[in-house]
C-alpha cells in the first residue's frame, strides 16, 4: 500500500492533468451550498415579515410545530439537492483517476437522474440511520451527565448521584470513541455504492467494515497528513485549488484501501446506455 507521500505525489499527477475540472467541480459544489443557504434565508425572511401564506402559519400553528415542519422541509431540500450533487461529484473524481470523460459521465447522469438520485439518497439515509442508532446510548448517557451536573442542586447531591455521574461520563467518552471507530468503518460505503450502484446498501456497509478492519489508525493518519492542505482553505481563497487536490488524494487512498474490491461498474453501464441511446436514434 502506498504511503501518504506517494499518494500525494500520484494525486498531483492526476490533478495536473485535470486541474480545470477540479476547480469547476469545486465551484459547482459552492453553488449548490449557496443555493441551499439562500433558500433558507428567503424562507426565514418570508416567515419573519408574515408574508402570505406564512402569516397564516404564524397565527394558527404552534411555534414548535412550525419549527418541526421547517426543519423537515430543510432536511428534504438537503436530501434532494446536496446529497445527489455530492454523489455525482464523487463519481467525477473517480473518473479523474480512471481516465473517464467527464462529459460522458455528465450526459449519463442527465439521462438517468431519477435512478442516480434514488441511489444517493438511499445510501445517505441508511448511513445516517445506522450512525444515529449507534449514537443513541451516548446521547442517553450524556443527558444523564447533564442532569447530574447542571440540573441537580447541591442540596440534592448524594453518593448515588455522584457515582451515576461518573459512570455516565465514562460511558459517554468510551462510547463516543467507539462511535467514531464505527463511522470510520463505514467510510468506504459511499465509494462502494458509487462504484457499484446496483449493490445492496447493507452489503456495501458490511464490505466497508471488513475492508476497514485494523485500518482505522491508517485512516486517521491520512487526514492528519492532509491537514497541511486543508488548513490554508480556512482563508477561503486557496480552497478552489487545494480542496480538489485533497479529494483526488482521498479517492486514491480509498482505491488503495479497497484493493481488489475496487471494481468500477460505471464504464460498462455507460457503454450499455450509449448503445441503447444509439439504437433509439
Per-residue pLDDT tens over the stretch 206-258 = 999 999 998 999 999 999 999 888 888 777 677 788 889 999 999 999 999 99
- Whether 253 contacts 212, CB under 8 Å: no
Residue 40: how many other CB atoms lie within 10 Å? 15
Question: What's the number of domains the chain is made of?
Answer: 1
Look at residue 105 in the predicted model and tell me its pLDDT. 84
Length reported for the chain: 281
Whether cis (ω within 30° of 0) applies to the bond prior to 53 is: yes
- Whether 190 contacts 90, CB under 8 Å: yes
In this model, does residue 154 exceed pLDDT 60?
A: no
Mean pLDDT for the stretch of residues 38-45: 80
Place of cell 459544489: 29
pLDDT band at 276 (very low <50, low <70, confident <90, very high): confident
- Domain containing residue 68: 4-280
Read off φ and ψ for residue 137, nearest 5 degrees.
-55, -40
pLDDT band at 204 (very low <50, low <70, confident <90, very high): very high
pLDDT band at 263 (very low <50, low <70, confident <90, very high): confident
Predicted TM-score (pTM) of this structure: 0.87
Mean pLDDT, the chain, integer? 86
Look at residue 268 in the predicted model and tell me its pLDDT. 85
Residue 35 makes CB contacts below 8 A (sequence gap 6+) with: 81
In this model, does residue 191 exceed pLDDT 60?
A: yes
Residue 245: how many other CB atoms lie within 10 Å? 19
Within its chain, how far is the Cα of 73 from the centroid? 19
Amino acid at each position: 500500500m502506498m504511503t501518504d507521500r506517494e499518494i500525494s505525489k500520484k494525486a498531483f499527477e492526476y490533478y495536473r492533468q485535470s486541474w480545470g475540472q477540479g476547480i469547476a467541480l469545486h465551484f459547482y459544489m459552492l453553488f449548490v451550498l449557496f443555493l441551499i443557504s439562500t433558500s433558507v434565508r428567503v424562507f426565514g425572511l418570508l416567515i419573519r415579515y408574515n408574508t402570505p401564506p406564512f402569516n397564516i402559519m404564524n397565527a394558527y400553528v404552534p411555534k414548535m410545530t412550525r419549527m418541526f415542519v421547517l426543519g423537515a422541509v430543510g432536511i428534504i431540500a438537503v436530501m434532494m439537492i446536496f446529497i445527489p450533487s455530492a454523489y455525482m461529484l464523487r463519481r467525477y473524481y473517480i473518473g479523474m483517476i480512471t481516465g473517464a470523460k467527464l462529459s460522458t459521465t455528465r450526459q449519463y447522469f442527465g439521462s438517468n437522474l431519477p435512478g442516480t438520485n434514488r441511489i444517493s439518497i438511499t445510501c445517505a439515509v441508511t448511513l445516517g440511520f445506522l450512525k444515529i442508532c449507534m449514537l443513541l446510548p451516548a446521547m442517553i448517557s450524556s443527558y444523564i451527565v447533564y442532569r447530574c451536573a447542571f440540573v441537580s442542586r447541591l442540596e440534592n447531591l448524594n453518593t448515588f448521584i455522584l457515582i451515576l455521574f461518573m459512570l455516565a461520563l465514562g460511558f459517554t467518552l468510551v462510547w463516543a470513541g467507539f462511535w467514531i471507530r464505527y463511522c470510520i468503518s463505514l467510510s468506504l460505503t459511499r465509494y462502494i455504492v458509487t462504484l457499484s450502484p446496483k449493490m445492496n446498501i447493507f452489503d456495501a456497509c458490511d464490505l466497508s467494515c471488513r475492508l476497514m478492519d485494523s485500518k482505522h489508525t491508517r485512516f486517521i493518519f491520512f487526514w492528519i497528513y492532509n491537514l497541511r492542505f486543508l488548513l490554508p482553505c480556512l482563508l477561503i481563497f486557496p480552497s478552489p485549488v487545494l480542496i480538489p487536490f485533497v479529494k483526488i488524494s482521498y479517492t486514491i487512498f480509498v482505491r488503495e484501501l479497497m484493493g481488489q474490491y475496487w471494481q468500477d461498474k460505471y464504464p460498462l453501464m455507460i457503454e450499455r446506455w450509449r448503445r441503447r441511446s444509439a439504437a433509439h436514434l
